[in-house]
């Protein structure tokens, strides 16, 4: 992995002593203000942003992240908080792409875990070890993933399935075998395959889907799916099977 440069705007010092941390392939660079942070992103000198959720009065982290992504679309962001995130914080973060919430204090290994979630190639070896097996219950007679079977297994509507694929329900019905749709449905198969392995049955998967989870601030995995975040659950399921930090 090439060295990543992470800019940190942390007025409340949630992340103690970032300049003293020695993390392989990561350079941590504190920013003194939102202006400096924005200018650095605009200049292309940052690969990753770490920003405190509790910003100075008048500054909202959602607005700041949106502004930074105008300068560099899709730049990964880690939100820092010294408190347990509220339901509003969690829901706002869940709706954003390439964004992680990191509660501090945090160890170097925990920080690296969040970074690998944003840069999958960092953890490419671990990902290839998962190799989830196809789930026959989700595939039709032609061996293709079937959105209707996904809907039934995960107790969600076809509209929910379409939202996770990123298209309308009508489009999902018109081209179900397209490469893009099959690739998106594979996230559901990853969840099912890993949970079958962890719980031993489809019943175990359904119990997990409907149970609150501390990893998701006591929301159920089903609620996360309804937010269109099945890909995030698939990553979590891979990690759970590998025994990586949660």
pLDDT digits (tens, 9 = 90+) for 90-111: 666 655 677 877 777 777 777 8
Is the domain covering 4-125 a CATH 3.40.50.720 domain?
no
158: which 2 tokens? Answer: 């076809």
| Secondary structure (DSSP) of 161-213 | HHHHHTS-HHHHHH-TTSHHHHHHHHHHHHHHHHHHHHHSSHHHHHHHHTS-B
Rounded-to-integer distance, Cα 216 and Cα 53, Å: 17
Tens-of-pLDDT digits for all 246 residues of the chain? 567 888 888 876 655 555 456 677 788 888 888 888 899 999 888 899 998 888 877 777 888 888 888 888 888 998 888 777 666 666 666 556 778 777 777 777 778 777 877 776 544 444 444 456 789 999 998 888 999 999 999 999 999 999 999 888 998 888 888 878 888 899 999 999 988 888 888 888 999 899 887 777 778 999 999 988 898 888 888 877 766 544
pLDDT, tens digit (0-9, with 9 covering 90-100), for 210-226: 988 777 777 899 999 99
Q: Can you give the pTM of this predicted structure?
A: 0.51
Residues 6+ apart with CB under 8 A from 107: none
Domain locations in the chain as residue ranges? 4-125, 131-242
């Amino acid at each position: 992995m090439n060295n990543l440069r992470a800019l940190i705007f942390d007025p409340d010092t949630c992340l103690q002593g970032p300049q003293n941390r020695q993390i392989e392939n990561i350079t941590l660079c504190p920013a003194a203000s939102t202006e400096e942070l924005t200018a650095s992103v605009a200049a292309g000198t940052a690969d990753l942003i770490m920003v405190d959720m509790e910003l100075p009065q008048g500054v909202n982290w959602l607005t700041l992240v949106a502004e930074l992504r105008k300068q560099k679309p899709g730049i990964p962001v880690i939100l820092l908080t010294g408190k347990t995130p509220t339901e509003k914080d969690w829901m706002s973060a869940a709706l954003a792409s390439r964004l992680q919430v990191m509660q501090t204090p945090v160890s170097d290994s925990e920080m690296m875990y969040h970074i690998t979630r944003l840069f999958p190639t960092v953890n490419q070896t671990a990902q290839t070890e998962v190799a989830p097996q196809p789930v026959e219950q989700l595939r039709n007679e032609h061996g293709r993933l079937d959105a209707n079977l996904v809907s039934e297994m995960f107790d969600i509507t076809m509209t929910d399935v379409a939202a996770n694929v990123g298209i309308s329900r009508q489009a999902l019905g018109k081209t179900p075998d397209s490469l893009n749709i099959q690739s998106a449905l594979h996230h559901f198969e990853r969840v099912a395959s890993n949970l079958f392995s962890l719980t031993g049955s489809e019943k175990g998967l359904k119990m997990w889907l409907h149970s609150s989870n501390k990893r998701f601030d006591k929301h159920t995995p089903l609620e996360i799916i309804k937010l269109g975040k099945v890909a995030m659950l698939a990553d979590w399921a891979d990690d759970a099977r590998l025994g990586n930090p949660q």
